[in-house]
Amino acid sequence: MKHRIITLLLAIITVATSFAAAPRYIFYFIGDGMGMGQVMATEAYNRTILGNTDHILMMQFPVASLATTYSASSPVTDSAAAGTALASGHKTKNGMLGMTPDSTEVISIARRLADRGYGIALVTSVPIDDATPGAFYAHVPHRGMYYEIGKQAAASGYSFLAGSTLRGTYTKEGKPNDLLDTFAANGVEIVHGLGELAAAKSDKVLLLNPENLPAWQIGFTIDSVKGAMTLPEMTAAGLNHMQRTHPDRFFMMVEGGNIDYGGHANDGGTIIKETLNFNQALRHAYDFYLAHPDETLIVVTADHETGGLGLGNNTVGYDLHLGYFDHQRVSKDRLADYCRSLRDSRRIYEWDDMKEYLAANLGFWGPVPVTEEQTEQLKAEFEKCMAGDLSGGKTTLYNQFDTFTERIFKILDGLTGLGWTTNGHSGGPVPVYAIGSGSQLFAPMIDNTQIPEKILQLAL
């Protein structure tokens, strides 16, 4: 009898300890397109150019591992299938969101936690109806069904949704539909920009770009868009909202979507600055963890790698010159847009004008050495581009790049030492970093479907 009592007491103590260790505050950071190449390029820049002896924040976490990312239909996943895996623990086909390949709806960890009293916040630097945030509330056979995804976001009941825009607010004929009214009917207050957010009165908020700014994403860090929200600011706003509305327990997903955009463009400088920006957003969660170390869990990972980014090329050999990126003040996407606007305006724009622009915004012919041969190549591509000859350009997921823009960044890549295999996704593993309550569960190499399973194991 005495032995049974002792066994029972030990069991009770074990259960009590498990409950005590269950995290009340869960942060899930997803760097879209952030493979090991993106992390190591940023780490190398942090060490060799910024002169920091400490690793970037995510690399300082005590748990560091890797996750496989393949989908149910391919070794190379798309964002919808990867988002579904990270949100629900289920593999699906590329393009499908919140469903298994046979169209069975799956339940995300955000929904499971919300049903158990957790406040939910989803933050992204791209549209809130994009694949990664959408995987935490939507169930559609194709990720492009923005109206349906938006309706499900409105009905989710989540406390804080933040992104650049909603893409399903117009019909195919270009007329406004009832999507915004659906948010209002569900008690969600829509605000544009952080200034309007400060005056929000509802406990359920949808934060979007200021109305005077482009809505495709919040803007690249490297472009310094005046008046644009930043991911760290949005993260801080979401955290403040959670502390006000759900101080006892909450779950926050924060996506650095612009890392992926830079990867599709093969724009190394933009990727490094976006990854640093992602780490600055992570700092808000880490500071919260320091104040609540026994009650907080932070997990950092990525949905996939974008671009096939590698460090080192045949131009620089065993070296990198990442300091050249300090002279880059325009993203590849915005440079392509600028060249497009020059062609469309039909204004007279000479090569000397463009040389002046490239010197000011990329450091060419100054701190960034460009040879005479490269200059002649650039001039020839510039004249071809301004004449409207766009043959040989490149179309990626988010933009079209003329041969002149491509030549500029090929030269910059060669000088800095970066290399690329694709303008799409690659099938390599992605990093997993963790700190806080139960973080040791993420130590071995895992599959992306196991990450939400382990979070739920700890929380529930």
pLDDT single digits (tens) 344-360: 887 789 999 999 999 99
Q: Which residues contact 454 (CB under 8 A, 6 or more apart)?
A: 438, 441, 442, 446
d(CA 124, CA 31): 10
Mean pLDDT for all residues in the chain:
94
Is the confidence at residue 15, as pLDDT, over 70? Answer: no
d(CA 269, CA 320): 13
Q: Is 162 helix (H, G, I), strand (E, B) or coil?
A: strand
Largest Cα–Cα distance of the chain, in whole Å? 96
Higher pLDDT: 13 or 21? It is 21
Question: What is the per-residue pLDDT for 213?
Answer: 85
d(CA 294, CA 343): 58
Query: How long is the chain?
Result: 460
Provide the token pair at 440.
Answer: 């040791």
Question: What is the per-residue pLDDT for 215?
Answer: 74
Q: Contact 106/90 with Cβ under 8 angstroms?
A: yes
Alpha helices (runs of H) in 146-267, residue ranges in sequence order: 146-155, 179-185, 193-197, 231-245, 258-264
Q: Is 425 helix (H, G, I), strand (E, B) or coil?
A: strand
- pLDDT, tens only, 291-332: 999 999 999 999 999 999 999 999 998 999 999 999 999 999
pLDDT bracket for residue 12 (50, 70, 90): very low
Question: ∠ CA 57-334-276 to the nearest 5 degrees?
Answer: 5
Question: What is the per-residue pLDDT for 390?
Answer: 87
